[in-house]
Amino acid sequence: MSRTAIRWGFIYLMTLLILAGVGLITQKQRAELESYQERYLQLEQEQRNLLIEYEARLSNRAVARWAESHGMVPMSQGRWAE
């Protein structure tokens, strides 16, 4: 074999090894990305649920019930009713 053929063969093998390495890295990153996307969807759902719970606890009626249970007297029944 000539030196040129050996050089091209070596370049060809090195290119194949580099491409195989890049392919393995890409497959690993894709699996991680899918895992992150699933976790992101779970966190979005949890955020929606927490927002619904937050709004339910801090609605006007919920705050009024809490305040009345802790001793607040509504203005209509307080000082102005005298």
Return d(Cα 33, Cα 27) in angstroms, integer. Answer: 10
Q: Which residue is it, tokens 């690993």?
A: 28
pLDDT digits (tens, 9 = 90+) for 20-75: 999 999 999 998 999 999 999 999 999 999 999 988 888 888 888 888 888 887 77
pLDDT for the residue 19: 97
Taking a C-beta distance cutoff of 8 angstroms, is the pair 56, 62 a contact? yes
Q: Which of 57, 56, 53, 34 is nearest to 45 (CA)?
A: 53
Return d(Cα 40, Cα 46) in angstroms, integer. Answer: 10
CA torsion through residues 7, 8, 13, 19, sign: positive
